[in-house]
Structure 1
């Protein structure tokens, strides 16, 4: 995402982004820091994460990296603590990290199910819970953004665990928003369609003909393209900013019109 036309919409705000070393998390990290936010990026790849943080710092942006696994509550707590200690507050929490597996119900293993739950849903519960605790203590409100999916509203037969957990994310989002609205803590979800990411590349790589699979996915969209992470990151940026002060307990679909189709 270009840094031209920076307006500083997030100046004075600090936050945490999980799954921030690739795909949407990385695009959001770049977008938020370009708008003045100080961000702790969370990921499992320490070398990659440190490289990204140092590159942003060299550009004069405020960024730090925390090596962590979102399937462990303690790591999420530590990342939020690092944000508060390093940057003075936590005003934004983007629960973004995800795990994707392809399997129908009868083929889904307990291991796949448990990993989907811990990465896609429990991590959002922990991220939201501990962000809320910190934001309430600060007394200045905040914005929690959860990455859900178009799978929140529809399904495919062979992505059962992903569909179930992303649907759960939307329920968690609504309940969180209602519980803390009076304290100025907003909670929303962004629901993207297919966008360029390691998860999507993993899906294509598993297909008998990856290029044909890519063309088939793109053809399902009215625009005949696959979204870019920046397309989605701009919406996350809006939800993190004061421009969306009246928006909570809802979702924004970013899918190039996919869900508007009837066939």
Structure 2
């Protein structure tokens, strides 16, 4: 007997491109969207991991293809959107999700790290928005663009200058895109997670003198005393992609377990 639900998914009939889909939040979003009926183009640099992921999604009865690409290369983003339209007939959801974290104060941030932060965290989102808009306008039936920002767009730490600057830029870009194309049915929103389990978090923790203590310090920041799971944030991305969010545009959805509600 099949264990799959007969209930149509919340994203049934929609096609999505998800960048950074081979790990962390991107992987969780690709899995969550496919589970809700979307056909997904998973974009990432790790081909072995990417093909493994789409095989797993297919084994669960959903549809996905992998496109090897680097979000810092505009042509790779264009190609992913083209694959989505050619394979699935349209582009209905674009999730611009990629991140590069430099842990350094301004005077210690190299120009190379600054430029890489801009290209990974902000330029890639610009390209994703631009080419998604072009595709969605040509199709003529709107769509949903989701940009991964961060709680770092609202607050900061002394040693995340480049990251904070670029994630703040994502917020501004999101508002502008939302206003420009709202009349054509194209929504654009920012997803703003707190810390969640991811390779980026792991990479940060191993740079600390005592990674275990650093993890406990992170956990202590949150009212729930835990670090989010990627799936916690992916659920919010599914909502923003769905028709349930038809009236949600040009705003940010914070998923941080109450972190920003704290005053001390």
Shorter-chain TM-score: what band? over 0.9
Counterpart in the other structure of 1:124: 125
The aligned runs of 1:242-257 (5 Å cut-off) are 242-257=243-258
Q: Does structure 2 retain, via aligned residues, the 8 Å contact 1:18–1:25? A: yes
* Deviations 1:49-106 (CA, angstroms, capped at 9, x unpaired): 0111112112221100000000000000000000000011000000001111100000
Q: TM-score, normalising length from structure 1?
A: 0.98
Is this contact kept in 2: 1:9–1:241, CA < 8 A? yes
Rounded to whole Å, the distance in 2 between the matches of 1:101 and 1:5 is 45
Alignment-derived partner of residue 221 in structure 1: 222
Q: Tell me if structure 2 keeps the 8 A contact 1:68–1:76.
A: yes
Distance (Å, rounded) in 1 between the aligned partners of 2:88 and 2:259: 39
Does 1:58 find its partner at 2:59?
A: yes
The equivalent of 1:193 in structure 2 is: 194
Q: How many residues align?
A: 262
1:46 corresponding residue in structure 2 = 47
Q: Hey, what does 2:235 align to over in structure 1?
A: 234
Give TM-score scaled by structure 2 length. 0.97
Q: CA deviation at 1:5?
A: 8.7
Q: Would the aligned equivalents of 1:6 and 1:35 in 2 still touch at CA under 8 Å?
A: no
The CA deviation string for residues 201-253 of structure 1, in whole angstroms up to 9 with x for no partner, is 01111100000000000001011000110110000000000000000000011
SS in structure 2 of the partner of residue 253 of structure 1? strand
Q: How far apart are 1:4 and its partner, in Å? A: 6.7
Work out whether 1:204 is the aligned partner of 2:205: yes
Name the SS for the 2:117 alignment partner: helix
Matched, 1:104 2:105: yes
Partner of 2:164: 163
CA deviations on 1:96-118 (whole Å, 9 max, x unpaired) are 01111100000000110010000
Equivalent residue for 2:12?
Answer: 11
Q: Report Cα offsets for 1:116-165 as digits up to 9, x if no partner.
A: 00000000000000000000000000000000000000010001100000
Aligned structure 1 segments of 4 or more residues deviating by more than 6 angstroms: none
Measure, in 2, the Cα distance between the counterparts of 1:68 and 1:4. Answer: 33
Quick check: 1:148–1:191 contact (8 Å CA) kept in 2? yes
C-alpha RMSD of the superposition: 1.3
Aligned residue number for residue 93 of structure 2 = 92
| Secondary structure in structure 1 of the residue aligned to 2:141 | coil
